[in-house]
Each structure stands twice: as C-alpha cells, then as structure tokens.
Amino acid sequence: AAEEGFDVEDVEGAIEEAGHGPLPVLAVIGRPNVGKSTLVNRIIGRREAVVEDRPGVTRDRVTYEAEWSGRRFKLVDTGGWEQDVLGIDASVAAQAEYAIEAADAVVFVVDATVGATDTDTAVVRLLRKAGKPVVLCANKVDGPSGEADATALWALGLGEPHPVSALHGRGTGDMLDAVLDALPEAPAQTFGTAIGGPRRIALIGRPNVGKSSLLNKVANEDRVVVNELAGTTRDPVDELIELGGITWKFVDTAGIRKRVHLQQGADYYASLRTAAAVEKAEVAVILIDSSESISVQDQRIVTMAVEAGRAIVVAYNKWDTLDEERRYYLEREIETELAQVAWAPRVNVSATTGRHMEKLVPAIETALAGWETRVPTGRLNAFLGEIVASHPHPVRGGKQPRILFGTQAGTKPPRFVFFASGFIEAGYRRFLERRLREEFGFEGTPIHVSVRVRE
Ligand code: GDP
Ligand code: GDP
C-alpha cells in the first residue's frame, strides 16, 4: 500500500487538501471602532490587518485566508474605512452592502459596552433583507462583568449574541464554532447553483481606466438582456449582456456605474468593491489605462485577481490615444510591471471607438478554458518523468531531491500536488511551473503547485 514511500492515505489526504474548491467567504462588518480589525487579526492569527489608531488609513488588502477547526475560509475585513462625507449611516450601509453581497455568511460586530445604536439597527435591516446567515459578535466583553451587556443585544433580533473580547481572545473560539455552523462548505453564489448558468465576468481596474465606458459600450452594441435588481438599491448589481452570441453575467456592475464620490476612503471602497466582484466572478477582465504608466494600484488589482484564483484577461484600454513613443514604453512597462500575468490573454481596446471589442470574447473563452483544464495523470507523470531526467534538481548536501510523481488535484484554477523525495527549492518549483505552462498551456489562469515531501 505504498507508492514510492508514501502512504496511500497521505497521498489521498494531500490531494484532497491541494484540490480544495473555492473557499466560502465570511465578511466581518460593523460600525467603526467596534473592533472588526482586532477580531480579524485574532482569527487569522497574524498582524496583517493592521489596526491603526490614525483615522483615514486606507488599506488595499481586504481579504485573507483563515482556518478554524480544520476548515478554511476567506475573511473580508471591512475595518479600513471611516465616516466620510456621506455621514456615518450611509457609509456603514455602503460598506455593509458590498461586504454582505460578496459573503456567504456575516459576522456582525457590535460594541457591547456601547450597546446597539441606531446605525446598528439600520445594519440589521440590511442583513435581514440580504438573508445571509449572521453571527452576532458582542465585542469588548473583556471579563464576566460584561456578559450582561452582551445579553442586552438579544434586542437586535439576530439571535444569540456571542460575548467576545477580540482584544484578549475571550469567547472567540465559541463564536467561531457558531460561524462554522453558519458558513456553507462552498461559496453558493459562485459555484453552487450558478453551475450551468451564464459565465460570470468581473470588470475591474483602478478608477478612470474606462470600466464604465467599456460596460456601456458592450451593453449598447449588443443587448442588455435583463437587469437583476439588488435588494437594497435600485442599481442593477449583475447584468446579463449578450456578447458574441453568448450571454454573460457581468457581476457587480452597480459598483462600476454608481458614482458615489467619496472624499475619504474612496480607495478603500474601490478595493472592497473589487474584492467583492472578484469573489463573485469566474473570470476577471482587468482594465489598464494604456495612456498612463502602469501603477502600483494596477499591480494590486492584478494580485487580487491572481490570489483569488480567477481566470484573467488583461485589456489595455484607451488604445486610441497611443502614439509611437507611448506604445514603446508601454510594452517595456508591461514586461517589467505585469510579469505576474504574462500568461494572460491580452487585448488592446478602446471603449471610445470600439476598437477590438470583438476580441474580448475569444480572450475570455481562452482564459476560461485554461482555468478549467484538467491534465490526465498519465500525461502529467510522463511529463514529470522527462523533466526529472533532463533537468534534475541540484544536489544538496550530497542528496538529490526528486519529484517522484504528481497529480492534478483540482481545477478552476488548476491545482497540482507533486510528491518528492526531499525538499524542492523555490527556484526548481518555478522552473516546474514554467515547464507545466509550456507543455499544457494554461493561458489566462493562475496555477497552484504544492509539493509533499516523503518523511
Ligand atoms: P474597527 O474600526 O471596527 O476595525 O475597530 P478596531 O479593531 O480598529 O478597534 C477599535 C479600538 O477598539 C482599538 O483601540 C482596539 O484596541 C479596541 N478593541 C477592539 N476589540 C476590543 C476588545 O475586545 N476589548 C477592548 N477593551 N477593546 C477592544
Ligand atoms: P472608470 O472609472 O474605470 O469607470 O472609467 P470611465 O469609464 O468613467 O472613464 C474615465 C475617463 O476615460 C472618461 O473621461 C472616459 O471618457 C475616458 N475613456 C474611457 N475609455 C476610453 C478610451 O478607450 N479612449 C479614450 N480616449 N478615453 C476613454
């Protein structure tokens, strides 16, 4: 029952772990200063979601991978914003709306020492409308004397308040158990009921790259089939648009069309919106303004889509504005700044003139095909055998670690697990990934390779 020194059980376990499907999404929402970021830090067990006393700190990172009791999920932190020109109710509502929309379950954090405020009550109404599972976190219950404050939150009508001290960790375990009960195994809206329905596209990119123009262009030239109304606003959230004879679902279009001009925290809203759209989509069409230098913000958006494991198309918009010189520099910038998505299909478009719009659909189809590719185990191992023979891993400490065998554990995006006789260095892993792409394509998709080493 052993294959080159691995237990069958080990191998099966590794394949199952590596091949996990998309993770369910948990959003942490609530008023400013109730302790959302502190709670997120506690759950992910790191200091990544930095808690800042300084107001107005914008963060671009809003989703994290977390694990509790052996179950993995994504965590959306909505702590990185503050009250703005819209006033507190409107900003809490906007933030909660985006987060709830993207989530499979919600942790609603209330400061138990303050009690339920009118804003909290307004959020409860949003939560009711959305109908997502909710766990009520009564935070800042640092000791037994605070329990009564937590009990008072039954009045919100969201069921049992879980008394928690995010700061000290008190009660967080019990609360997380309740979260796991509420959280579906797989994200329903992304991969559950939607299977077989129209493919879901997120059109993303930093402000002013032309998302709204492109959406209008594609929606006008062809036909907007249906508008689905959001529960809480009258803006269409997801629009069905026919392109190239196929109906596609453009997700979160309200986020594109809605022009809420926020003086503060606008970047943060944009990130949250992007994360929400990416979570709901299968393929991300990333718009880059080719008339301007590729920025750190562009790179962050690309990273977000790559890390979320979505199929990716990069569309260079405003192509009508380019002269020879800018074109030259753009190509150099793409090589250096966007190397992380060198494998993504590329289209050079103009939302203004309609240039190359017809190339969008083939690019999207290519990316989705790469994303769904499954390599038969026999072919994969023949390929691995050849690689190991022609390009062996460098000898380390008198030993030569070898890839013994491998399998594709999952798709959407492709995930591989390789079994090795010793530690495989990062450089060799990158080499393997590169060769995998050369051999099997994977155009438009991130791929994951994990390596298990024989004990
Ligand atoms: P956010 O705006 O909701 O993300 O809130 P933060 O996580 O930034 O926390 C706001 C303040 O409340 C910070 O000063 C935290 O240290 C404090 N805080 C958060 N959780 C607790 C808690 O459980 N007990 C106490 N006493 N303070 C907390
Ligand atoms: P969004 O913020 O990403 O939705 O960007 P918008 O669609 O609002 O576009 C920002 C600005 O860029 C507007 O003034 C558009 O008219 C302009 N724009 C968008 N696409 C193009 C394009 O392909 N060519 C040119 N020249 N301008 C464009």
Ligand 2 nearest atom to the CA of residue 209, by list position = 3
Contact 36, 79 (CB under 8 A): yes
What type of residue sits at position 6? F
Nearest to residue 410, comparing CAs of 437, 364, 372? 372
91's tokens: 């900003």
- Given this model, what pLDDT does residue 220 score? 67
- How far apart are the CA of 32 and the centre of ligand 1, in A? 9
Query: For the chain, what is the radius of gyration of the CA atoms?
Result: 24
Pairing of strands 311-317, 346-348: parallel
Ligand 1 nearest atom to the CA of residue 32, by list position = 2
User: What parts of the chain have a pLDDT lower than 50?
Assistant: 1-2, 47-60, 83, 85, 190-194, 221-235, 259-264
How confident is the model over 52-72, as pLDDT tens digits? 433 334 444 567 888 888 888
Q: Which helix (H) or strand (E) holds 135?
A: strand 134-139
Question: Which residue has its alpha carbon closest to ligand 2 atom 14?
Answer: 208
Q: Which ligand is nearest to the CA of 322?
A: 2
- Given this model, what pLDDT does residue 55 score? 39
Ligand 1 nearest atom to the CA of residue 52, by list position = 8
Sequence-distant (6+) residues with CB within 8 A of 267 are: 58, 60, 297
How confident is the model over 156-179, as pLDDT tens digits? 999 999 999 999 999 999 999 999
- How far apart are the CA of 38 and the centre of ligand 1, in A? 6
- How far apart are the CA of 48 and the centre of ligand 1, in A? 15
- Given this model, what pLDDT does residue 229 score? 39
pTM of the model: 0.75
Residue 356 burial class via C-beta count within 10 angstroms: exposed 0-12, middle 13-18, buried 19 and up:
middle
Contact 66, 75 (CB under 8 A): yes
